[in-house]
Structure 1
Amino acid sequence: MPDIFTDLLNDLLNNLRAPGLPAQVGLLLLCVGLGWLLARLLRRSFSVSTVQPQAMQIGLGSFSKVLTPIITLLLLILVKLALQKWQQPVNVMRLMIPLVASLALMRFVFYVLRRVFARNSGVGTFLLLFEKSFGVLVWIGLLLYITGWWPDLFDYLDSTVLPIGRYKVSLLAVMQALVSVLVTLVIALWAGAALEERLMRVNTVHSSVRTVVARMARAFLILVAVLLSLSLVGIDLTVLSVFGGALGVALGLGLQKIASSYVSGFVILLERSLAIGDMVGVSTFYGKVVQINSRYTVLQGLDGIDTVVPNEVFMINAVQNYSLTNRILRLATHVMIEHQDDVESILLLLEQVTVEVDRVSREILPQALLMKIGPDGLELEVGFWITDPENGRLNVLSDVNRAIWRVLQSRQIKVAQLKRDIRMVHDAELHKSNFDAYSQQDLPLDRLRDSPKPKNI
């Protein structure tokens, strides 16, 4: 078994006094210093750049952490090639290049995973655990490569056969298949995330259209990645026709609601009937649209509660969109005054006090109306408009009611109260009325006498 590590150590020990060893160490330190300096300059240029959008600056800034090992690796490879051309010893470079390459691989994989799975939220526990496990595997692989056990490990995995039905597959082929599938899927998700970020910065296109294109592009990339990985593994793609037929039957029978919600999501985005930030009401739900996903839409109520509504609900129910054409919303409150009050002056007073309330629109002035003349008083309605329904309706309605109450109290205007007349009837009069009622029904006199007397009211 070739022992690369022993060979390297022997070469290093043999060349400790050779004039080429100090030069290799010096070139190594120079490559590391130049790599760190160039990466720092690039990071500084990314941070001070004002041409790129903020999202791209964040992405480039996080990628700059990968630049140090990558630039150092490239410099080491160039130095190794130059030393070999001049027939100089390269033992130090042969030892350091795999080490720096492993570090660059780990940082690049961590960058891709965080760009795909942790773009909008913090890094989860599972992602951290996966990063640590991947780092351990990389260092173990590096150790196997340096010690010369890497080819032996490949031979062992290739000779280990797993029986799968009528076929026998080597363990190495299974691991290569898993790695190829994972790599292609991660690359597809990374490309989809980058494309989505770029599309979301195109302000000339409606947000719904951008979302639809981004979702369809991501689905297409995932499909291509799956097909490519299966072809790399050696699976015949014609067998997918059977799977497609089974999937169609499953969608037709048990997954109707899910499929309907997915289709409804794309229809909603294409029709532009809903958009992020709209205030909508559907069925018994009301709130602000904060997310439009493929299967569901998230409504954030004014009480802070998020409601996950399937997209199918928006297709089969009437939807009230308070922000489709404009964000202006009319609210109204009622007050009842007495008959002897001056209606005209009170209507004008209510309009003046309402327009002074914060959040009440001054472009469309409030309007006070006499809605009803009833037996209890005069019913007035004060209608006003707001331009920010996402900030709540009850709070501004409460402010208007408080302002109206204060002005009524200051002007000593009484709010009308319900009036009810109560008539007191004596026993004799009530008994006589009952006798007249029974006599009109031709009842026997003895039954009339035995009838219970009503109680006093």
Structure 2
Amino acid sequence: MSSPAEATPDLANDAIEQAQTIAIGLWEQAQLFVAGLLRPWSLYQVGIILGLWVAATVLARIFGPHLHNWMRTREGWPKWRMRFLVMMHRRLRLIFMVLLIWPVYLVMQEVTWPSRSYLIGVMASLATAWLFIAIITRLIGNAFLRGIVRYAAWTWVTLSILGLTEDTIQILDSAAVNMGEMRLSVWMVLQAIAVIALLMFLARFVSTTSASRIRSNKDISPSMQVLAVKVIQILLYGAAFFIGLRAVGVDLTGLAVLSGAIGVGLGFGLQKVVSNLVSGVIILLDKSIKPGDVISLGETFGWINSLGARYISITTRDGKEYLIPNEDLITGQVVNWSHSNEFVRLDIYFGTAYGDDPHQVRKVAIEAAKGVERVLSFKAPVCHIVGFGDSSVDYILRFWISDPTGGLTNIRGNVYLALWDAFQEHGISIPFPQREVKVLEGSELGTRALDRGNPGKAPQDGTAEEQGG
């Protein structure tokens, strides 16, 4: 009985021999194909195909500019329709090729032997399949992914039409690596990528549809909407990944060791990441903040755009977007200006001269605040004296607003401006500190001032004499 170490080289040798046999078979088929092309009825088919391709190129050159100019006049059309026209304009030569080759093939099927129109039929099928794939893959938004899917589909369709799929699968399957009891081949990897990509596309479509329906439901709070969408996405994408692996025959029991290694890595190197993820779930569950809330965190003030798995996005009044980790919102002190309701009270301070009647000042200040837009009238502003300063009577004016997302600095500025106009109208003055400096007689400054007033008097400290000498 042979040992596993002895069996591994035998399997590798068998795979190499199998690949060599398949390669020799393909080479023989290629030689037969080239020999068939050298026959007279094959050469004229190749000539017809080349002539049709030249004709399609000429027609594309003629009609392409006219189509482009016509597209430029189509203002107001939906974006999807314009994108479709752009795609058709780029594939105009292939479209003309399909329109020309099929009538020629059908006519030749009627007037000559089927074998003498075989190559034209193959080329017609290839051109039609390539055009169909180019149109369908245009629905994929990502350009890189669209290119991969398009070229992969073109390759597979070409092999299918030429009847080379079985040989290609055998070659790809012969290139394999044995890892314990699991055999991993290139064909299995390609299958897994294709199946997982398809399932991921379906999962994305389902999650997007579900997310739009959840967000349109007004009975669900914004934070719970975000949590529900995240949970659905995780479940769908996770299920798509594992179902795709099982569909191609990958043994998932080996992933237990990998999951254990990932757990150790999370415990040591990804503590902050896991902490932010858990904090994000806590924020969504306790509904402490939600998209649209106006919050203050340290020196950052703005409203929440979105709640992510690792951070939240806050946009300030100056257009800056801050990405704040979820852990900071859990451990730090956050001011939510619109947590339980959207009403926010603002305070501003000012002072007036002692000669002004404080009763009139309070009345004028309240009326001025009421006249400012965004200041709530049913929550009437109030004004109180808070102290007697060195040069003014100090007041506090309090008022309420219901739209903190509109900004706080601008509403304070508007109220201050209304106070200025109202005080100017009623003759109320806003004092500012003034200082008087008195020079005492006999001081050094006083002596110098007297000397400047009597320039003929000789200095008493001998300075002039020293300067003259």
Q: TM-score, normalising length from structure 1?
A: 0.66
Q: CA separation in 2, counterparts of 1:428 and 1:303? A: 55
Secondary structure at 1:385's aligned position in 2?
strand
Displacement after TM superposition at 1:321 (Å) = 0.9
In the TM superposition, residue 315 of structure 1 has moved relative to its aligned partner by 0.5
Query: Displacement, 1:377?
Result: 1.9
User: In the TM superposition, what are the counterparts of 1:261-410 in structure 2 within 5 Å?
Assistant: 261-410=276-425
Listed one character per residue, the Cα deviations across residues 344-373 of structure 1 (whole Å, up to 9, x for unaligned) are: 112111111111112211221221211112
> What is the one-letter code of the residue matched to 1:189?
R
Aligned match for 1:211, one of 226, 247, 260? 226
> Which residue among 168, 175, 179 is the counterpart of 2:190?
175
CA distance in 1, matches of 2:392, 2:225: 56
- Output the CA distance in 2 between the equivalents of 1:224 and 1:102: 32
Partner of 1:413 in structure 2?
428
Q: Secondary structure at the match of 1:136?
A: helix
User: 1:117-145 CA deviation, whole Å, 9 max, x = no partner?
Assistant: xxxxxxxxxx2243234323333433333
Q: Structure 2 vs 1, CA of residues 421 and 309 (structure 1 numbering), >3 Å: closer, same or farther?
A: same
Q: 1:226 maps to what in 2? A: 241
Cα distance in 2 between the residues matched to 1:383 and 1:347 = 11
Structure 1 position 325, deviation (Å): 1.5
Distance (whole Å) between structure 2 residues aligned to residue 218 and residue 96 of structure 1: 42
1:385 positional shift: 1.4
CA contact (8 A) 1:282 1:319 kept: yes
Contact 1:99–1:142 under 8 Å retained in 2? no
Mapped to 2, the partners of 1:428 and 1:98 lie a distance apart of 109
Distance 1:263 1:100, change over 3 A: farther
Distance 1:397 1:272, change over 3 A: same
Residue matched to 1:152: 167
Residue 48 of structure 1 corresponds to: none
Deviation, 1:161, is 4.3
Aligned residues: 354
Shift, 1:316, TM fit: 0.3
Cα separation, partners in 2 of 1:384 and 1:209, compared to 1, 3 Å = same
CA distance 1:177–1:262, change in 2 (3 Å):
same
Residue 279 of structure 1 and its aligned partner are, at CA, apart by 0.3
Is structure 2 residue 149 aligned with structure 1 residue 134? Answer: yes
In 2: Cα distance, 1:140 partner to 1:256 partner: 45
**CA–CA separation in structure 2 for the residues paired with 1:332 and 1:205:** 35
Percent of pairs with identical residues: 25
- Rounded to whole Å, the distance in 2 between the matches of 1:416 and 1:231 is 81
Q: Match for residue 200 of structure 1?
A: 215
Aligned to 2:201: 186
**1:276 offset after TM fit, Å?**
1.0
Quickly say closer, same or farther: Cα 1:135–1:244, change in 2 above 3 A: closer
Shift, 1:411, TM fit = 2.8
* Equivalent residue number for residue 443 of structure 1: none
d(CA) in 1 for partners of 2:281 and 2:355?
60
Q: How far does residue 264 in structure 1 lie from its aligned partner after superposition?
A: 0.9
CA RMSD of aligned residues (A): 4.1
CA pair 332-375 structure 1, distance change in 2 beyond 3 A: same
2:224 alignment partner AA: V
Classify the secondary structure of the residue corresponding to 2:400. Answer: strand
| Counterparts of 2:79 and 2:241, CA distance in 1 | 30
C-alpha displacement at 1:275, in angstroms?
1.1
CA distance in 2, matches of 1:294, 1:361: 37
1:208/1:269 contact within 8 Å kept: yes
**Alignment of structure 1 residues 107-126 onto 2, 5 Å:** 107-111=135-139, 113-114=140-141
Cα gap change, 1:169 to 1:145, in 2 (>3 Å): same
Does structure 2 retain, via aligned residues, the 8 Å contact 1:106–1:138? no
Q: Distance in 1 between matches of 2:429 and 2:251?
A: 86
Unaligned runs of 5+ in 2: 1-28, 45-77, 85-113, 445-469
Shift of 1:221: 1.5
Structure 2 distance, partners of 1:202, 1:413, is: 54
Instruction: Kindly state the Cα deviation for residue 163 of structure 1 after the two structures are TM-superposed.
Output: 6.9
Which amino acid is 1:193 matched to? Answer: T
Q: TM-score, normalised by structure 2?
A: 0.65
Residue 25 (structure 2) aligns with: none
DSSP-derived class of the 2:385 partner:
strand
Q: Tell me the amino acid that sits aligned with residue 367 of structure 2.
A: Q
